[in-house]
Amino acid sequence: MKKLIKSLIKILFVIILPVVYSIICYHWIVSGNLVLPVLAMIIIGILIIANAVFYYSFMSNTKMFPGVTAEFAPVVGLGLGFDRAYYTHKIIILLPFTVIDITTWKKNNTKK
C-alpha cells in the first residue's frame, strides 16, 4: 500500500499537474480571457515544472507504472493468468499471437 501511495503521488506531481497546467494555459491563451496576469502564469508554470523535476529526481526509486512487456507467441486463443512467484507478481494476458506480461511489483531480494 505504501508503494502504491508513493507512485500515485509521483504520478500526480510529475505527469498530471504539468499536463493540467498546459491545458489551462492553452485555453487561457485561446479564449483571450486574461483573468491572471501573464507574469503570474509564468511564475506558476516555473513552480510546477520545478516541482515535477524535484519529485522525479528525489523519488527515483519509486516506479510510476508497472512493467509491461509484449511478445509474439504462436498461440491462438484468449486467456488471463496470474503468476505468483516469490519475488514478483505478474498478470499474463493471452491474445491471438500475443502474450502481454504486466509485472505488478518486485520484492528486494538483497540481504542486509
How much is the average pLDDT of 47-76? 82
pLDDT-derived band at 63, boundaries 50, 70, 90:
confident
Distances in Å between the Cα of 13 and the Cα atoms of 44, 56, 58, 65 are 14, 8, 12, 14
Q: Average pLDDT, stretch 61-72? A: 79
* Per-residue pLDDT at 55 exceeds 60: yes
Domain boundaries, the chain: 2-58, 67-106
Q: One-letter amino acid identity for 14? A: V
Structural element, H or E, at residue 56? helix 38-58
Residue 65, pLDDT above cutoff 50: yes
pLDDT at 86 over 80: no
| Residue 64 contacts residue 11 (beta carbons within 8 Å) | yes
Average pLDDT score over residue span 59-83: 81
Average pLDDT over residues 71-89: 81
- pTM, 2 dp: 0.58
Strand, helix or coil for residue 71:
strand
Q: Whole-angstrom Cα distance, residue 109 to residue 19?
A: 36
**pLDDT in the model for residue 112:** 47
